[in-house]
Amino acid sequence: IMEPSPKYYAVLTGDLVKSSRLSAQQSREAMDRLAAAVSDFTAVFPDAVHGEIDTFRHDSWQLLLNRPELCLRAATFLRCSLKSLSTAGLHYDSRVSIGLGEVEEISPRISDSRGAAFVSSGKGLDGMEGGATLAFSSPLQWFRGQNALPRAVVPLLDALVLEWSPGESRAVAGSLLGFTQERIAHQWPPKADGRPISRQAVTKTLKRARWRLAEEALQWVEEEIDRALRSEEARGDIDSEGGVEGQGGF
């Protein structure tokens, strides 16, 4: 067990959608794909993930982020990585609940860790209803007053992701990592006739997925979370100097 270093973390807790319909082999493939996706994400954002993804019960997982502002980007990337594996008769996706807050202790196995971020993430997953597959919650005061993120942006982004085809998910996954359309096309498996995918095809795929809309939403979320954490840190500084709680510049 180790003491946390950053003050605030994001915890992503998830489980495979309709996992009872998957065979044991299919579940393993999905969980392996999640682990590979975390490695891909870490390669681009090397300081973002704490440790490794923790998997359990053959269909559930948990991830701890040192950079909480990237939580929605990471959640969307993991879902896209899964959805890109889908076929006409087989659907892959994961519910994801994001909890942002403080962490008391971090265990070698992430799911054994403790803190408000873990509580929020777990409760968010348990409380999902109405077909939702993405949720965000935080006990921080900023988010208790700023409802646009959990009540509007997250549900709308979830609605977008739910509609993405395997091809759209693959194209968006590369874009989430900042890859150029040329690179995405180069890494795309060839067509059935052996021909490679063109950059123009990737462009059309991203347009169908309304990627620009999703990208703008993610950028807003990352800026919003950054502002929230700065505000909370300023509040903590005021409190530690004997100021009155709640007068942190809101």
In percent, the amount of the chain with pLDDT more than 70 equals 91
> Is the pLDDT at 249 greater than 70, yes or no?
no
CATH superfamily of the domain spanning 9-240: Nucleotide cyclase, GGDEF domain (3.30.70.1230)
The answer to whether residue 54 scores a pLDDT higher than 90 is yes
Report the chain's C-alpha Rg in angstroms.
19
Burial 181-208 (b: 16+ CB within 10 A, else e): beebbeebeeeeeeeebeeebbeebbee
* Tokens 């194209």, residue located: 171
Mind listing the pLDDT tens digit for each residue in 111-142?
A: 999 999 999 999 999 999 889 999 999 998 88
CA distance 159 to 51: 30
What is the mean predicted confidence (pLDDT) over 55-61? 93
Dihedral sign from CA coordinates of 190, 195, 196, 200? negative
Name the residue with tokens 């989430």: 176
The edge-to-edge listing of strands for the beta sheet with 94-101 is: 54-56, 60-65, 9-16, 94-101, 134-137
pLDDT of 57 above 90: no
C-beta atoms surrounding 173 within 10 Å? 25
Across 48-71, average pLDDT = 96
Name residue, tokens 């709680």.
245
% of the chain residues with pLDDT over 90: 78
Beta strand ranges found along the chain (DSSP E): 9-16, 54-56, 60-65, 94-101, 134-137
pLDDT at 3 over 60: no
User: Collapsing DSSP states into helix, strand and coil, what is residue 9?
Assistant: strand
The pLDDT value given to residue 108: 87
Rounded to whole angstroms, the Cα distance separating 144 from 142 reads 6
Q: Which tens digit of pLDDT belongs to each residue from 10-28?
A: 999 999 999 999 999 999 9
- Cβ neighbors of 245 (< 8 A, separation 6 or more) are 235, 238, 239
Q: Rounded to an integer, what distance in angstroms lies between the CA atom of residue 108 and that of residue 95? A: 24
Residue 177 has pLDDT above 90, yes or no: yes
Cα(194)–Cα(187) distance, rounded to whole angstroms?
14
What whole-number distance in Å separates Cα of residue 52 and Cα of residue 109?
9
Mean pLDDT of the chain: 91
- Higher-confidence position of 1 and 104: 104
What is the residue-wise DSSP string for 70-83? GHHHHHHHHHHHHH
The confidence band for 192, taking pLDDT boundaries of 50, 70 and 90, is: confident
**Residue 6 — very low, low, confident or very high, per pLDDT cuts 50/70/90?**
low
